[in-house]
């Protein structure tokens, strides 16, 4: 598999001179298997950039897009109304997210209803399919085998293990350090995976309990315990500058080397492409 990061920031978009290198768009990751089948992880403002790229490079073809949402907080869904392939009637746009107390279609539609947006969700020209995934379930999505688990966040939220081409990628954003003493559900999900994309919004010095995000140290501990080969630090704090993320990356790689051998640490940035 190959992955590309279109949004790496948490909570709110942060354009400006201090976030140029790592990017200011919120969560969105493109996944491709060997056949080129497209799977998208989260629909933050980075989804707009992905859509522009798809239209410019594949504009003559119908699109088949499967989107997995970790949860429905604004910074993970704001790109949906601005995803250009959704306005192509030849496209199929499939959205799957965690099971909620109300239907996924109804909840996603609220943000696009009048007076909040001029185009209703149900008026998008693409063929729209919306589904839900229960915690602990498994689905086959085209060539991808996807398994989910609940995570510690102040809203129904899922982490996903995506398998294809004999490799495994785990996407675990917006999950809090498991200081409650309960087993961390991300560890068994990530066991033996090649790459773990993990929330790392906080440092121990600025960690905020109950906000639903992890520290860099916690992300390293999960990766080491699960035996993954590569950890990608993700969902950067909106106040974190490029220079601060440079320092975090260097410190994290050093800490990972002290914790376990062979663990590569990468700081996610917009435009970064990795092979899984």
Q: What angle do CA 71, 113, 126 make, to 5 degrees?
A: 75
DSSP 27-86: SEEEEE-TT--EEEE--STHHHHHHHHHHHHHTTS--EEEEE-S--SGGGTTTGGG-GGG
* pLDDT tier at 86, thresholds 50, 70, 90: very high
* Residue 168, pLDDT above cutoff 60: yes
User: Across the strands, what pairs with 7?
Assistant: 28
220 and 190 in contact (C-beta within 8 Å)?
Answer: no
| Strands of the sheet with 264-267, listed across from one edge | 138-141, 144-150, 158-164, 167-172, 195-199, 230-234, 264-267
pLDDT tens digits for 44-81?
Answer: 999 999 999 999 986 557 899 999 999 999 999 999 99
3-state per-residue secondary structure call for 133-176: ECCCCEEEECCEEEEEEECCCCCCCEEEEEEECCEEEEEECCCC
Which pLDDT score, from 0 to 100, does residue 19 have?
98
Check whether the bond before 140 is cis (ω within 30° of 0). Answer: no
How many folded domains does the chain comprise? Answer: 1
DSSP code, position 123: G
Measured CA to CA, the distance from residue 254 to residue 267 in angstroms comes to 13
Q: Which domain holds residue 70?
A: 2-275
pLDDT tens digits for 115-166?
Answer: 999 999 999 999 999 999 999 999 999 999 999 999 999 999 999 999 999 9
Find the CATH number of the domain harbouring 55: 3.60.15.10
Helix (H, G, I), strand (E, B) or coil at 179: coil
Which pLDDT score, from 0 to 100, does residue 182 have?
81
Measured CA to CA, the distance from residue 144 to residue 141 in angstroms comes to 5
Give the number of other CB atoms < 10 A from CB of residue 238: 16
* pLDDT tier at 202, thresholds 50, 70, 90: very high
Helix (H, G, I), strand (E, B) or coil at 218: helix
Q: What is the mean pLDDT of residues 243-263?
A: 97
* Burial class of residue 225 (count of CB atoms within 10 Å of its CB; 0-12, 13-18, 19+): middle
């Amino acid at each position: 598999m190959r992955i590309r990061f279109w949004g790496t920031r948490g909570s709110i978009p942060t354009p400006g001179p201090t976030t140029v290198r790592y990017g200011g768009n919120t969560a969105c990751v493109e996944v491709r298997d060997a056949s080129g089948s497209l799977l998208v992880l989260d629909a933050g403002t980075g989804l707009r950039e992905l859509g522009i790229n798809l239209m410019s490079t594949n504009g003559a073809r119908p699109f088949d897009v499967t989107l997995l949402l970790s949860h429905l907080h604004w910074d993970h869904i704001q790109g949906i109304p601005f995803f250009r392939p959704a306005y192509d009637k030849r496209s199929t746009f499939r959205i799957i997210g965690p099971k909620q107390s109300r239907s996924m279609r109804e909840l996603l539609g609220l943000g696009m209803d009048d007076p909040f947006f001029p185009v209703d969700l149900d008026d998008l020209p693409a063929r729209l399919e919306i589904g839900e995934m229960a915690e602990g379930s498994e689905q086959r999505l085209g060539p991808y085998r996807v398994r989910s688990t609940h995570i510690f966040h102040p809203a129904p939220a899922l982490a996903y293990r995506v398998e294809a081409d004999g490799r495994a990628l785990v996407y675990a954003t917006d999950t809090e350090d498991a200081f409650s003493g309960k087993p961390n559900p991300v560890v068994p999900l990530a066991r033996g995976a090649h790459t773990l994309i993990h929330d790392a919004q906080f440092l121990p010095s600025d960690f905020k309990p109950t906000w639903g995000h992890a520290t860099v140290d916690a992300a390293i501990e999960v990766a080491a315990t699960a035996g993954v080969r590569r950890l990608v630090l993700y969902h950067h704090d909106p106040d974190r500058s490029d220079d601060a993320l440079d320092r975090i990356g260097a410190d994290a790689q050093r800490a990972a080397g002290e914790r376990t051998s062979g663990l590569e640490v990468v700081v996610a940035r917009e435009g970064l492409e990795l092979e899984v």
